[in-house]
Amino acid sequence: MSTLWVAGFGSDLAEDHPGFHDDVYKRRRAWISSLAREHRVSSGPIPRVEYTPEEVATWTHVLSKLKDLFPDHACQQYLSSFPYFNFQGDQVPQLEDISQVLKSRTNWQVRPVAGLLHPRDFLAGLAFKCFHSTQYLRHHSQPSYTPEPDLCHELIGHMPMLANQGYADLVQAIGEASLGADDKMVWHLTKVYWYTVEFGLIREGRDHIKAFGAGVLSSYGELKHIASGAPDLLPFDPFQKLPKMSYKDGYQKAYFILDSFEDAEQKLRALARAMKDPVQPFSL
């Protein structure tokens, strides 16, 4: 497969990226990105990176901070998959090893990518059980914040959930719906992805609401914000127009609650059928 086009932060960092003024960081990030650009799935395992002590320290910080939050806030599927990956505080995991664990659990795989992909390409990967992941780390000056996906977010946020079959099937359904969809629908599916895979909540039993979205699970502040009662908590319905996504300026104004991953997957499949129905095509 050819190299995928990288949008957004791709190779040049935005001015508000914490590493913008750090040339050493920028060179390092570009070098790790180049490994992904040159990697071909057919040519063998994902190249291993020898992480620097500074990068290890960033990983150590992020893992130890987040681990404390999970027992209370993460959904049960996350908690039961987490140990499969055997994350160690003193060692940054290698994408190849993580991909092997994922393969053995749900038959998904990880493919390294140089930066943010265009939503259409990213969603298409999901249809084929392929999760595109960055391999570099966030800037060490702000270990609790990154404006773009980095290895900590991909591994701690996404991997345990993708090792759960019900969830993995839901994510695949989002990807499948994007194949052949027009730009408007790809944008809608980007929001579906955002409000589930990144910021989704799930009902557990009668009165518990737990997090499964990677963006929620990897943010201490976001979890507290949800618990404060300030944002709207709405039932998940992919047939409805979803609110604007909020990227940097604070937290989401609304979150969506799934009844179960299976139920959400069924809704997504119904949406995909409606989109492709020539008689009554779905439109928002």
Which residues form the interface with ligand H2B (CB under 6 A)? 113, 116-117, 119, 122-123, 132, 134, 149, 190, 193
Q: Give the residue among 17, 33, 20, 24 at the shortest CA–CA distance from 151.
A: 33
Q: Which does 132 bind (CB under 5 to 8 A by kind): ligand H2B, Fe ion, none?
A: ligand H2B
| Cβ at position 39, least distance to ligand H2B in Å | 14
| Cβ at position 206, least distance to ligand H2B in Å | 32
Task: Using the CB atoms, write b or e for 60-74: b if 16+ within 10 Å.
Answer: bebbeebeebbeebb
Exactly one of 214, 216, 226, 275 binds Fe ion (CB under 5 A); which one?
214
**Could you tell me the sign of the dihedral formed by the alpha carbons of 137, 115, 210, 234, in that order?**
positive
Residue nearest to Fe ion (CB): 214
- 3-class DSSP state for residue 182? coil
Is 122:106 a contact under the CB 8 Å cutoff? no
Q: Give the residue among 137, 140, 131, 159 at the shortest CA–CA distance from 150.
A: 137
Residue given tokens 């060490």 in the structure block: 140
Q: Residue 8 or 221: which CB sits closer to ligand H2B?
A: 8
Q: 109-112 and 208-211 as β-strands: parallel, antiparallel, unpaired?
A: unpaired
| Cβ at position 215, least distance to Fe ion in Å | 6
Q: Give the residue among 131, 113, 132, 140 at the shortest CA–CA distance from 53.
A: 140
Tell me which stretch binds Fe ion (CB under 5 A): 31-39, 75-83, 200-208, 211-219.
211-219
Q: Which does 190 bind (CB under 5 to 8 A by kind): Fe ion, ligand H2B, none?
A: ligand H2B
Is 136:151 a contact under the CB 8 Å cutoff? yes
Q: Residue 228 or 247: which CB sits closer to ligand H2B?
A: 247
Q: Which does 214 bind (CB under 5 to 8 A by kind): Fe ion, ligand H2B, none?
A: Fe ion
Q: Residue 121 or 203: which CB sits closer to ligand H2B?
A: 121
Q: Which does 116 bind (CB under 5 to 8 A by kind): ligand H2B, Fe ion, none?
A: ligand H2B
Q: Give the residue among 34, 151, 54 at the shortest CA–CA distance from 97.
A: 151
Tell me which stretch binds Fe ion (CB under 5 A): 38-46, 212-220, 222-230, 273-281.
212-220
Q: How many positions of this chain bind Fe ion (CB under 5 A)?
A: 1
User: Could you tell me the two tokens for 223?
Assistant: 């979890």
Show which residues are catalytic: 153, 158, 198, 218
Tell me which stretch binds Fe ion (CB under 5 A): 54-62, 180-188, 208-216, 270-278.
208-216
Which positions lie near Fe ion, rule CB under 5 A?
214
